């Protein structure tokens, strides 16, 4: 491809992304206007609640961390050509394992904290490993099993929260509204720091390190290359002596492990449910994290900004009450943004194909 057409392609991609993103925002604005609110005040409130008002960055970072963890795990499984859409369940099971570990493991705080995070990883990996095992042992499509295991996970956690020997806090008052686990003691919580008036857990640095490390491993190491080969062409992988099932299982376990880690970080981080496991603990972080990975188009470096944008929508929605509009409007905006960002790669693919066919047409 000559330099000129390469430049033209960049312009085209940028224009497509800008156009589609703008269209999503315009449609969101129209929906807001349709219910009789003003789009500029709503947008202003969202910005205030997520970043503009002093001290709001901290909460947004707290939501960004689990989103980024789920997304980076998703990228690993996508790399090897598997479709894991059960992060919500893997996250829940990870959080449940973490909670269980927190109440059972004695010892000094920092060691217990590490054990909690490891338990979360194990829990998530078990849940995705079930789907991966069925995929390679019995050829059951992993799309379906991961999806189905989400509802099983949420029922399992709901059951655990009723039983004192599993998750339920034995001190909690009886009644339907008290299905909660014991609160983490202060010394096993993730330490928090304050930067420029924004208070957040130090797991943010862990998350950035993990994203960079996985991004490097996927693109620059033999392991990442093996995953890429299997993802692109199984037959080539077999000729190279790369085992599809081994690489697939590793990717699947890693994918679920990161979702489980996200659950453990939510538990220890303090931005969700006040250091307790509650019913509905996952609050769709698994689903949204999956969307973050899709919107980041499976590039590790894009995960952090995209996770931050989606986290901003969530934290910003807390400020919508003053505008008299339902906070659920952010779910609409979020869905529209994802849908809009799916379009450019698809359109580019079709256009390039059409061009290639036109160019080849005179020669074939």
Give the footprint of another protein on this chain (CB under 8 A): 31, 35, 83, 85, 134, 138-141, 143-145, 147-149, 151-152, 155-156, 158-159, 284, 287-288, 290-291, 294, 325-326, 328-332, 334-336, 338-339, 342-343, 345-347, 349-350, 353
Report the residue number, 155 or 194, with the smaller CB distance to another protein.
155
Give Rg (Cα) of the chain. Answer: 22
Rounded CA gap, 343 and 331, in Å? 19
Give the DSSP letter of residue 52.
I
Shortest Å, Cβ 331 to another protein: 3
Q: Which helix (H) or strand (E) segment is 169 a member of?
A: none
Residue nearer to another protein on the CB measure, 151 or 178: 151
The smaller minimum CB distance to another protein, of residues 203 and 330, is found at 330
CB of 162 to another protein, least distance (A): 8
Q: Measured from the CB of residue 117, what is the shortest distance to another protein in angstroms?
A: 27
CA angle 156, 157, 159 (to 5 degrees): 65
User: Which CB sits closer to another protein, 105 or 309?
Assistant: 309
- Closest C-alpha to 313, from 288, 290, 296: 288
Q: What are the two backbone dihedrals, phi and then psi, of residue 338, each rounded to the nearest 5 degrees?
A: -60, -45
**DSSP state letter for 183:** P
Q: Which residue has the tokens 């190491």?
A: 221
The greatest distance separating any two alpha carbons of the chain, rounded to the nearest whole angstrom, comes to 79
Q: How many CA atoms lie within 13 A of 290 on its CB side?
A: 19
CB of residue 346 vs another protein: minimum separation in angstroms?
Answer: 4
In angstroms, what is the minimal distance from the CB of 91 to another protein?
A: 15
Shortest distance (Å) from residue 111 CB to another protein: 33
Whether residue 286 contacts residue 87, with contact meaning beta carbons closer than 8 Å, is answered with yes
Q: By C-beta, is 24 or 69 nearer to another protein?
A: 24
Q: How far is CA 74 from the centre of its chain?
A: 7
Q: Cβ closer to another protein: 49 or 58?
A: 49
CB of 89 to another protein, least distance (A): 10
Phi and psi dihedrals of 358, rounded to 5? -65, -40
Pick the closer one to another protein by CB: 116 or 149. Answer: 149
Helix, strand, coil shares of the chain, percent, nearest 5, are 75, 5, 20
In angstroms, what is the minimal distance from the CB of 285 to another protein? 12
∠ CA 192-304-260, rounded to 5° = 65
223 versus 287: smaller Cβ distance to another protein: 287
What single DSSP character describes residue 241? T
């Amino acid at each position: 491809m000559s330099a000129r057409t390469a430049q033209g392609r960049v312009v085209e991609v940028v224009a497509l992304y800008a156009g589609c993103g703008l269209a999503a925002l315009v449609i969101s604005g129209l929906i807001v206007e349709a219910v009789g609110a003003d789009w500029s005040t709503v947008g202003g409130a969202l910005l205030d609640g997520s970043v503009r008002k002093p001290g709001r960055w901290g909460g947004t970072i707290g939501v960004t961390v689990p989103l980024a963890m789920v997304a980076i795990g998703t990228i690993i499984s996508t790399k090897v050509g598997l479709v894991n859409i059960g992060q919500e369940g893997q996250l829940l099971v990870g959080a449940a394992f973490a909670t269980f570990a927190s109440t059972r493991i004695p010892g000094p705080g920092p060691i217990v904290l590490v054990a909690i995070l490891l338990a979360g990883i194990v829990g998530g990996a078990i849940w995705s490993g079930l789907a991966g095992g069925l995929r390679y042992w019995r050829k059951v499509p992993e799309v379906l099993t991961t999806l189905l295991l989400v509802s099983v996970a949420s029922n399992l956690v709901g059951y655990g929260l009723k039983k004192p020997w599993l998750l339920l806090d034995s001190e909690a008052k009886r009644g339907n509204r008290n299905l909660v686990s014991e609160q983490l003691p202060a010394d096993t919580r993730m330490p928090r720091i304050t930067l420029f008036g924004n208070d957040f857990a130090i797991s943010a640095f862990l998350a950035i390190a993990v994203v960079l490390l996985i991004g490097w491993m996927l693109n620059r190491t033999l392991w990442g290359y093996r995953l890429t080969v299997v993802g692109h062409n199984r037959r080539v992988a077999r000729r190279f002596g790369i085992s599809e099932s081994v690489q697939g299982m590793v990717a699947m376990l890693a994918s679920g492990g990161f979702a489980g880690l996200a659950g453990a970080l939510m538990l220890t981080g303090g931005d969700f449910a006040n250091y307790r496991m509650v019913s509905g603990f996952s609050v769709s972080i698994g689903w949204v994290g999956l969307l973050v990975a899709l919107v980041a188009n499976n590039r590790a470096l894009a995960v952090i900004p995209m996770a931050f944008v989606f986290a901003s929508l969530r934290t910003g929605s807390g400020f919508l009450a003053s505008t008299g509009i339902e906070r659920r409007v952010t779910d609409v905006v979020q869905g529209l943004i994802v849908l809009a960002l799916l379009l450019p790669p698809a359109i580019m693919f079709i256009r390039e194909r059409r061009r290639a066919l036109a160019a080849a047409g005179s020669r074939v």
